[in-house]
């Protein structure tokens, strides 16, 4: 080893010991005859001291030539610092240096390697290997590491077997777009990278493995945002001979274990909510329960009073922001403009303030009497000092719009505290959802999700009303995981493919292997997959998953550090039997 200790290890107990450290130069402070150097490694930072009266002149000159991020090895005696630094664990000691060797000089880095850096995101991604030296990034990856270890510990204790599944698989038409990989030895044919190991984990249940899990890379060629990457990691799980209740209990257990062991947080009981209630009261299927502000429907109270915007609406619905009645006209106008943005799409917003004097002032006073407005307040459960915000329009659209407004108000009022965690199971999702573009039903989760037995008869008469044995785990408004009880017999699976618009030939070509496996004694089974990157971001208090991935892609799906994706040589294209015809 090139060192006897790390840069985060030494304390007063080590005074008078001779030690050897190795690491990176964080900063140099040169006072002429006195030089201090902060030496850093993964474990911490230690101060080195070079003094003219006790150091060789050559050693002092060598120290003066050190620059930021030089890699050095140094030997010296541990001494007690006269001016201690209580901000770092090694702040009570320093090393009086006797030897110094530069192992590798460094160019001046393009940004400061400090917690508060001066580098923009694109620059830091280009030099990601430098960004990873910063404490704030390293700590996020250490968090990820700990979560992986605790996941494996819990799953092993629950008798799960970790099994790796293939990365080069068959492309299927459902779900997001696949990343495809040409086959050199099978000209004109392609592998796909897995969007999830779905069919393989079901085949493992057919194989009798009973309990499977895997921390696995998955790939989706979809538009990117802060919580998406083209390659991402799942905690993928499947169980045999279980009901939905068994799965919910098992993975509540995993969630509570991770919070307890990694965050030191003891989670309360995980609440449950149907998909229908989530949409009715929160406008989306992943409600943030850190604050209330439930939707209140006002059709009966607001329509028929001559206000044409409400009278012509399918749904009039609003939220009550507690304690926000003091919002100024300027603030309310800004909120109105916010909901009218194309990203939200509302045509306007109506407000009603419940003033401290007991009066209610609204933006539609000429249409509604004081008694009418009091009825609104009663419906909202509003009291003096509260602000009611109301939208109207087509039911589905207005719920989505109000959901965005609710989240914005939660943010503005400081109700989305990152230190509070509110987990929730959302259940009873629709099995199918109608797609206007293709004029057919698509699986809301995937085509292997089983319908609820009591809804099976509706598949032929009212497919959109069929509920699935599906469930999502939501924490603080973020979908962390989702799963379902699976179809495990050929007849039901063929029926599902039929309702998804597959011909028998198409279903056989794409999934014949799975349906055949079901004919060899498939057990009832179900499972779940957690978005591991999102889970890490929730634990770390971040919106973006990028800093929890060692080498992430940017918003265009590019790795700007290695310049990927990139073109390949004509000779490689020829070997793959590929000819490019790129549309401009």
Residue 28 neighbours by CB under 8 Å, 6+ apart = 35, 36, 37, 38, 63, 64, 66, 67, 68
Name residue, tokens 């495809």.
180
pLDDT tens column, 9-42: 999 999 999 999 999 999 999 998 899 999 999 9
Residue 24 CA to residue 27 CA, distance in Å, equals 9
Of 411, 364, 358, nearest in space to 386 by CA: 358
Does residue 240 contact residue 211 with C-beta atoms inside 8 Å? yes
pLDDT tens column, 369-426: 999 999 999 999 999 999 999 999 999 999 999 999 999 999 999 999 999 999 999 9
- 510 marked ligand binding residue: no
- 467 marked ligand binding residue: no
- 266 marked ligand binding residue: no
Of 318 and 543, which is predicted with more confidence? Answer: 318
- 122 marked ligand binding residue: no
Q: What is the pLDDT of residue 243?
A: 97
In angstroms, what CA-CA distances link 501 with 209, 434, 483, 497?
32, 12, 23, 6
pLDDT at 535 exceeding the cut of 80? yes
Work out the angle between the directed axes of helices 504-518 and 198-206 (0-180°, nearest 10): 40
Name the 3-class secondary structure at 470.
Answer: strand
What are the helix (H) ranges across 448-489? 458-461
In this prediction, residue 175 has a pLDDT band, given cuts at 50, 70 and 90, of low
- 525 marked ligand binding residue: no
What are the helix (H) ranges across 420-463? 458-461
Does residue 360 contact residue 380 with C-beta atoms inside 8 Å? no
Residue 533 neighbours by CB under 8 Å, 6+ apart = 227, 229, 232, 233, 545, 548, 549
What is the per-residue DSSP string for 300-326? HHHTTSS-HHHHT-SEEEEEEETT-TT
Q: pTM of the entire structure?
A: 0.92
- 311 marked ligand binding residue: no
Please report, to the nearest 10 degrees, the dihedral formed by the alpha carbons of residues 554, 556, 558, 563 taken in order.
Answer: -110
For 463-541, where are the E strands, in sequence order? 470-475, 478-485, 525-531
Backbone phi, then psi, for 474, in 5-degree steps? -115, 135
End-to-end CA distance of the chain: 56
Backbone phi, then psi, for 438, in 5-degree steps? -95, -5
Mean pLDDT across the stretch 479-494?
96
The CATH class for the domain spanning 12-104 reads mainly beta
Lookup: tokens for 399: 């719920």
Greatest CA span in the chain, whole angstroms?
94
Work out the angle between the directed axes of helices 275-282 and 395-412 (0-180°, nearest 10): 70
Lookup: tokens for 26: 């964080």
- 406 marked ligand binding residue: no
- 486 marked ligand binding residue: yes
How does the average pLDDT of the chain come out, rounded? Answer: 95
Q: What is the pLDDT of residue 34?
A: 93
- 416 marked ligand binding residue: no
**Start-end ranges of CATH 3.30.1360.30 in the chain?**
291-413
Q: What is the pLDDT of residue 55?
A: 62
In this prediction, residue 160 has a pLDDT band, given cuts at 50, 70 and 90, of very high
Kindly indicate whether the domain formed by 291-413 is annotated with CATH number 3.30.1360.30: yes
- 488 marked ligand binding residue: no
pLDDT at 500 exceeding the cut of 90? no
Helix (H) or strand (E) holding 278: helix 275-282
pLDDT at 54 exceeding the cut of 90? no
**Kind of pairing between the strands at 190-192 and 211-219:** unpaired
Q: What is the pLDDT of residue 572?
A: 94
- 138 marked ligand binding residue: no
pLDDT tens column, 422-468: 999 999 999 998 887 777 888 888 899 999 999 998 988 898 899 99
pLDDT at 52 exceeding the cut of 90? no
Q: In this prediction, what percent of the chain has a pLDDT beyond 70? A: 99
Does residue 446 contact residue 493 with C-beta atoms inside 8 Å? no
Residue 165 neighbours by CB under 8 Å, 6+ apart = 194, 197, 200, 201, 204, 214, 216
**Start-end ranges of CATH 2.40.50.140 in the chain?**
12-104
Residue 284 CA to residue 438 CA, distance in Å, equals 23
Helix (H) or strand (E) holding 69: none
pLDDT at 473 exceeding the cut of 70? yes
């Amino acid at each position: 080893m090139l060192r006897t200790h790390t840069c985060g290890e030494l304390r007063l107990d080590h005074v008078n010991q001779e030690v050897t450290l190795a690491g990176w130069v964080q900063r140099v402070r040169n006072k002429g005859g006195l030089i201090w150097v902060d030496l850093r490694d993964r474990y911490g930072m230690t101060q080195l001291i070079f003094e003219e009266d006790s150091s060789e002149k050559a050693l002092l000159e060598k120290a003066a030539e050190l620059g930021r991020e030089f890699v050095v090895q140094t030997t010296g005696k541990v001494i007690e610092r006269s001016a201690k630094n209580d901000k770092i664990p090694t702040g009570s000691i320093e090393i009086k240096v006797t030897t110094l060797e530069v192992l590798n000089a460094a160019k001046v880095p393009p940004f400061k390697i400090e917690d508060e850096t001066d580098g923009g995101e694109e620059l830091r991604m280009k030099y990601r290997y430098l960004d990873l030296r910063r404490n704030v990034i390293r700590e996020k990856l250490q968090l990820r590491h700990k979560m992986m270890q605790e996941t494996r510990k819990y799953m092993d204790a629950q008798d799960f077997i970790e099994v790796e599944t293939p990365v080069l698989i068959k492309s299927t038409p459902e779900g997001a777009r696949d990343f495809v990989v040409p086959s050199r030895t099978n000209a004109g044919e392609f592998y796909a990278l897995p969007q999830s190991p779905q069919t393989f984990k079901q085949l493992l249940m057919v194989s009798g493995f009973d309990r499977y899990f895997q921390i696995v890379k998955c790939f989706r060629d979809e538009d990117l945002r802060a919580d998406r990457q083209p390659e991402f990691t799942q905690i993928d799980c499947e169980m045999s001979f279980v009901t939905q209740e068994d799965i919910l209990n098992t993975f509540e257990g995993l969630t509570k274990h991770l919070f307890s062991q990694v965050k030191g947080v003891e989670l309360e009981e995980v609440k449950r909510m149907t998909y229908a209630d989530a949409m009715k009261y929160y406008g989306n299927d992943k409600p943030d329960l850190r604050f209330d502000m439930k939707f209140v429907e006002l059709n009966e109270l607001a329509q028929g009073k001559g206000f044409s915007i409400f009278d012509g609406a399918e749904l009039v619905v609003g939220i009550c922001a507690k304690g926000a009645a003091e919002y100024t006209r300027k603030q309310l106008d800004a909120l109105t403009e916010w909901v009218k943005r194309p990203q939200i799409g509302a045509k306007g917003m109506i407000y009603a303030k419940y003033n401290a004097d007991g009066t209610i002032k609204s933006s539609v006073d000429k249409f509604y009497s004081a008694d009418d407005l009091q009825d609104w307040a009663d419906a909202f459960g509003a009291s003096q000092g509260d602000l009611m915000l109301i939208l109207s329009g087509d039911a589905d659209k207005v719920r989505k719009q109000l959901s965005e407004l609710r989240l914005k108000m939660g943010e503005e009022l400081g109700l989305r505290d990152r230190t509070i965690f509110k987990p929730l199971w959302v259940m009873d999702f629709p099995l199918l959802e109608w797609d206007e573009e293709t004029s057919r039903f698509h699986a809301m989760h995937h085509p292997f999700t089983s319908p609820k037995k009591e809804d099976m008869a509706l598949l032929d008469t009212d497919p959109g009303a069929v509920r699935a044995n599906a469930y999502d785990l939501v924490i603080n408004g973020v979908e962390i995981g989702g799963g379902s009880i699976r179809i495990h017999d050929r007849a039901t699976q063929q029926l599902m493919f039929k309702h998804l618009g597959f011909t028998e030939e198409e279903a056989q070509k794409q999934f014949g292997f799975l349906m055949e496996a079901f004919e060899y004694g498939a057990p009832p089974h179900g499972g779940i997959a957690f978005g591991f990157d999102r889970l890490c971001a929730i634990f770390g208090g971040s919106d973006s998953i990028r800093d929890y991935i060692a080498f992430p892609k940017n918003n265009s799906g590019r790795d700007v550090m290695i310049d990927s994706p990139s073109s390949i040589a004509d000779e490689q294209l020829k070997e793959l039997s590929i000819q490019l015809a790129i549309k401009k």
